[in-house]
Amino acid sequence: MAFHPRYWDRAVKNGSRDFNYYRWNAESRKNASQHIGRDTRVQPHAEEPLELEPEMRFVVPTGGVIVFSGAQLHSTVPNTTNTVRWSIDFRTINIDDVVSKRGAPNTDSASTGTSLRDFLRVADFAPIPEDIVAAYDDGIPAGGVAVFKPDVTNASAGLQRHG
């Protein structure tokens, strides 16, 4: 993984204005498994050439973790080792930071909607109170979905029991 600090406090012209999280939940999120290797879904992308140097690369030991803000420009880099690399995202928030609107500067996002309703408190799985979400919400468009709920009715259709 590489990080590009040149853009941590500088906006990048991008297509985020066309991205609505609630439409993503309704139309695109359920199709993730169809986009292995190449993702053709509409997602924000840079609309200007990027100068990726200087970059900071982190090579972590097996089982290592990198913790960072998604607002910090980052990219994947080729794996030139003989070891398989797995990436698992654990997206977390600190409720005090959410309430105080603290965090890494988000200099260039024009996307609409919010993922805050996806987060649950670890202690009791309670959702974030709607009055806190409201500070970030700009309304759910017609056909939009506030919280993605996978279709589990067909999830096991292809499974068979052997033995």
**DSSP assignment, residue 28?**
I
Q: How far is CA 62 from CA 44, 86, 113, 139, in A?
A: 31, 10, 36, 42
Judge whether 127 and 120 are in contact, CB under 8 Å: yes
pLDDT tens figures, 95-140? 999 999 998 888 899 999 999 999 999 999 999 999 999 999 999 9
Structure tokens at 91: 């997206």
Tell me if 11 is assigned to some domain: yes
Tell me if 158 is assigned to some domain: no
Tell me if 161 is assigned to some domain: no
* Inter-residue long-range contacts of 89-94, CB under 8 Å, 24+ positions, other chains counted: 91/115, 91/118, 91/119, 92/119, 93/119
Tell me if 123 is assigned to some domain: yes
Tell me if 156 is assigned to some domain: no
Question: What's the structural domain count of the chain?
Answer: 1
Mean pLDDT of successive 10-residue stretches along the chain, which has 163 residues: 91 94 88 78 90 90 86 88 84 94 89 95 95 94 91 59 48
pLDDT of 40: 81
Structural domain of 59: 1-149
Does the reported pTM lie above 0.95?
no
The whole-angstrom separation of Cα 22 and Cα 12 is: 23
Tell me if 163 is assigned to some domain: no
Tell me if 72 is assigned to some domain: yes
pLDDT of 163: 47
As a whole number of Å, the end-to-end CA separation of the chain is 42
Tell me if 154 is assigned to some domain: no
